[in-house]
Amino acid sequence: MIKVVILDWAGTAVDFGCMAPVAAFREAFERQEITVTEQEIREPMGMKKIEHIKRMLEMPRIAESWLETHGQAPTTADIEAIYATFEEVLFQQLANHAEVKPGVLDTVAVLRNRGIKIGSTTGYTSEMMGIVIAEANAQGYQPDHIVTPDEVDGKGRPAPEMLLTNLAYFKQENNQEVLKLGDTISDILEGKNAGVISVGVIEGSSQAGYSFDAYQQLSEAEKEALFKRVRREYLEAGADYVIDQFSELSSLIETIEAQQVVTS
Q: What is the pLDDT of residues 74-91, one digit of tens each?
A: 999 999 999 999 999 999
128 and 41 in a common domain: no
226 and 152 in a common domain: yes
161 and 81 in a common domain: no
Specify the pLDDT at position 264. 58
Question: Known binder of ligand: residue 10?
Answer: yes
Angle at 96 between CA 93 and CA 100, to 5 degrees: 125
Strands (E) across the chain are located at 4-7, 117-121, 145-147, 178-182, 197-201, 241-243
CB 199 within 8 Å of CB 5? no
Specify the pLDDT at position 149. 95
State residue 21 phi and psi, 5-degree precision.
-70, -25
Question: Known binder of ligand: residue 183?
Answer: yes
State which of 47, 72, 96 marks the end of a domain: 96
134 and 89 in a common domain: no
The question of whether 49 is a catalytic residue gets the answer yes
135 and 81 in a common domain: no
Each residue of 32-82: pLDDT tens digit?
999 999 999 999 998 999 999 999 999 999 999 999 999 999 999 999 999
The question of whether 8 is a catalytic residue gets the answer yes
40 and 152 in a common domain: no
Q: In whole angstroms, what is the distance from residue 201 CA to residue 246 CA?
A: 6
187 and 253 in a common domain: yes
Of 15, 48, 49, 101, which one is the catalytic site residue? Answer: 49
CB 124 within 8 Å of CB 49? yes
The CATH number for 121's domain is 3.40.50.1000
Task: Quote the domain boundaries for residue 225.
Answer: 4-18+98-263
150 and 184 in a common domain: yes
The CATH number for 35's domain is 1.10.150.240
State which of 72, 96, 120 marks the end of a domain: 96
132 and 82 in a common domain: no
123 and 107 in a common domain: yes
87 and 24 in a common domain: yes
29 and 84 in a common domain: yes
State which of 53, 70, 96 marks the end of a domain: 96
Picking from 19, 81, 17, the residue whose alpha carbon sits closest to that of residue 53 is: 81
Give me the residues of the chain with pLDDT under 70, please.
262-264
Beta strand pairing call for 145-147 and 197-201: unpaired
Residue 137 CB neighbours (<10 A): 11
- The number of distinct structural domains making up the chain is 2
Q: In whole angstroms, what is the distance from residue 90 CA to residue 24 CA?
A: 5
